[in-house]
Amino acid sequence: MPSLQLSLSISPLTDPTLSPQPKPQSLLLVPHTPLRPKHLLCCLFATAKNAIIVEDQDAVVNGRVGADTSVPAEEDLLLPAGLQKEFMPKHVAVIMDGNRRWARMRGLPVVLGYEAGIRALRRVMGLCCKWGIIRVLTVFAFSSDNWFRPKVEVDFLMRLFGRGLKDELENFVRKNIRISVIGDSSKLPKPLQELIMAATETTKNNSGLHLIVAVNYSGQRDIVQACQSIALKAKDGLIEPEDINEFLIEQELDTRCAAFPHPDLLIRTSGELRVSNFLLWQLAYTELFFTQSHWPEFGESEFLEALHSFQQRQRRYGGKNT
C-alpha cells in the first residue's frame, strides 16, 4: 500500500496576551509506516516544533496518549438523550430473572437461556463502562435457595460461572473492571473458588466499574453473619453493646467491599414483584424497577427505561417532600 503524506498548516499553542503572535507554519508529516484507511480517523496533536500521529484513537483521552480509557473523563461523557448526569445512580443492582422462561418460550434447552443471560450481562456491563457514571453493578447470579434445583442444572451453572470468569478476565483487566464475589463461597466447587480468588486478586486495584456477583448469596444470611461477627467482637471485649449501630453492622456486610454499598436502583426482570432475599439490608432506600422483559432480552432500551424511571423519582429517605 502506498504511503500517505499529510501537509498541514498549524498554529502554535501560544499565550494570547503576547504580541506579536507567531504565524501559522506548514508541517509535512511523513509516517514511518504506511497509513491504513482507519488512520485517517486518528487524532493528531501538533505544535510548531513537533507532531504526533496516534494510530490507536481509543488510547487518546483529553489530548493524553495512553490515558486510561476505562473511566471516561467527565467532559467526555455522552449519556443518551433525556438522562441527566447528576441524577444517574452510582450503584445499580439487578436480579437477573427469566433465563429459563426465555428458553422455554422458544422451545430451547434451559442451558441456552443461561448462556443468553451471560450475553445480556455483558451488554449491561458494556453500557455501564460506556456511560461512566454507574460505578457499581451488583448482580444476583445464584441464590442460596437455588441449590434445590435439579443437580444437572446446578452443575451447569457452576461450570458456566467458572467459564465466564476465565473468558472475561482479560476483558476485565483491559477495561479496568474490578470484580468481587459475595455470598458463602465455601460451598462452591473448589476449582470455582480458586478461579474466584484469582479473578478478585487480579482486578482488586482496578478503578473502573466495580462488578459484584452474588453467588450462593442470601440477604438474611448476610445480616446474620454480620451480627455473629459483631457478637464475637463484643465477647472478646473489643466493642461494647452500646457501640453497635447501623454503621458497625454495615462494616460486616458482604457489600463492604464497595465504595457505594447501597444500591440506588434495583432492577428485576421477568415480571416478578419481589426482592427474593437479595441485599435485604442494603435495599432500605433503594428505588425499585420491575420489567416484564426476561433477562436474556434485557438490553440498552430496557436499561434506559429503568434509568429514565429512576430519574423521574424524588428520593426523600424518609424526609418530607420538598
Between the CA of residue 262 and those of 72, 88, 223, 230, 286, what are the distances in Å? 23, 14, 14, 20, 7
| Residue 78 pLDDT level (bands cut at 50, 70, 90) | confident
Residues annotated as part of the active site: 97
Retrieve residue 139's grid coordinates: 448482580
pLDDT beyond 90 at 230: yes
158-213: per-residue pLDDT in tens?
999 999 999 999 999 999 999 999 999 999 999 999 999 999 999 999 999 999 99
- Which helix (H) or strand (E) segment holds residue 124: the answer is helix 110-131
What predicted TM-score, i.e. pTM, was given to this entire model?
A: 0.77
Quote the distance between the C-alpha of residue 150 and its chain's center.
Answer: 31
pLDDT beyond 50 at 60: no
Quote the distance between the C-alpha of residue 215 and its chain's center.
Answer: 17
248 closest CA partner among 265, 268, 232, 270: 232
Dist. CA 11–CA 261, nearest whole Å: 49
Mean per-residue pLDDT over the chain, rounded: 83
pLDDT beyond 60 at 259: yes
